Structure 1
């Protein structure tokens, strides 16, 4: 079950807005360990999906999330701070006694609210094949581009999206946060609009739900925690073949409070 919806009041161009969010991670129905992790603490919302041996993936994802959480607590959240935190995570992963497998690593994807400029903006970040989706004006779009062999084949015109489903290399990613030199994330800036809803998820969700399914559950559930629970339940019912992790972040008018709020919400 998702954590209770949390909220944060912000002002964009003298317009009072309300951020609300919730997240969940689940073992799924076929895995023995949960190698996913997530962080949903203003202004950073991310999901990490670990890989590499029985313990290695869990260590990689949790080490990465721990470094980013410390960064949030320090009050420095920007591209430079994120890349510094990831460099520290790479060192943590490399130094851990249980991460001897060269394949140890984690995806990392999410969004943060960049308030350094005159007008705050969302910035998406991505390494690997976890995803960020944005529902805007009732249209769902995938914000991030997968770093995977299959996506490279699609981009090169050698594979159609339909052919990609069930492809033998569908789980092979080309970039990760791991026990080697860090490749910086891909970034994309997005303006802040009331009504926007982000879905940040591991491939344990997208293996079981189509884009249409994600959009359906967003439409049917106004509160982030309700939407998270509905998507998780559907992913498990559809097979739950992998760990499932997702975070939903939405922007509303300041007087559109969600039905439940965290006691510590600001």
Structure 2
């Protein structure tokens, strides 16, 4: 199947933050969202460093090396964070989430670490295709495996923003990695929790279903997150799986958020 992706990306500082620590990228082969953290400047540096490192992946990659290529690129990005932390002790607390997809025809490698999210709209249904690496999710998963009681709701709420896996330059920061198969008509959304934490899944579904243009869909989701209070930075990337013949001339890649301010 000769397919390609039609993509769009957007990022907004939100209503409460002084700077944008999110970064996003959308290109013909690669889409990615990173949500930085670590105090003023730290989050910006972390997310933009990772997105800047991954941009070189936006090229043809052999199918049999798709997952490994993405995994190596994430490891290299994490190593760059380690170097930055050593050179900048003031950034020792910085880190970033990452959700990225690397395409080769209909096949796509997915890498995920942290609590940014990936969604798939397929055949009129919305699926979350990533699992949040938050402490509440971890405790509930452990309870389910052991047959114990789930976490207390109040405790789960408190832990819902505590991440146990991020990219921060330290060892053993491995993302979830897997290979997926796209279908014509699929629509993928990658977003920071500034979007998914404010706009509920039903509303995300309604916007993705109703708005055919990916750029307008991204902007509408950002508007809704701001209308919901915009307590955090808001970033979204959409990729639609279409027949390659319908793309026409390749669009230039899009970089948004902190990475857009630092790219050369």
The range that moved more, 83-92 or 32-41, is 83-92
Provide the TM-score with structure 1 as the length reference.
0.82
Cα deviation code 1:153-178 (max 9, x no counterpart)? 23224447x94798112211111111
Q: Which residue of 2 aligns with 1:147?
A: 133
Q: Does the 8 Å contact 2:189/2:236 carry over to 1?
A: yes
Q: Which has the higher contact order (CA 8 A, sep 6+)?
A: 2
Determine which of 164, 168, 174 is the counterpart of 1:174.
164
Asked whether 1:28 is paired with 2:14, we answer yes
Taking structure 1 as reference, are residues 99 and 106 closer, same or farther at Cα in structure 2, changes over 3 Å only? Answer: farther
CA distance in 1, matches of 2:24, 2:93: 21
Count of aligned positions? 244
Q: Which runs of 5+ in 2 are unaligned?
A: 254-264
Residue 249 of structure 1: how far off its partner (Å) = 0.5
CA distance in 2, matches of 1:166, 1:207: 15
Cα deviation code 1:9-34 (max 9, x no counterpart)? xxx1xxx4442110011110101111
Q: Which residue of 1 aligns with 2:38?
A: 52
Q: Which runs of 5+ in 1 are unaligned?
A: 1-11
CA distance in 1, matches of 2:238, 2:246: 16
Residue 100 of structure 1: how far off its partner (Å) = 4.0
Residue 64 of structure 1: how far off its partner (Å) = 0.5
Taking structure 1 as reference, are residues 240 and 264 closer, same or farther at Cα in structure 2, changes over 3 Å only? Answer: closer
The CA RMSD over aligned residues, in Å, is 2.7
Tell me the secondary structure at the aligned position of residue 108 of structure 2: strand
Tell me the secondary structure at the aligned position of residue 78 of structure 1: helix
Provide the TM-score with structure 2 as the length reference.
0.82
Q: Which residue of 1 aligns with 2:27?
A: 41
Determine which of 218, 230, 242 is the counterpart of 1:240.
230
CA distance in 2, matches of 1:209, 1:243: 13
CA distance in 1, matches of 2:8, 2:55: 16
Taking structure 1 as reference, are residues 254 and 79 closer, same or farther at Cα in structure 2, changes over 3 Å only? Answer: closer
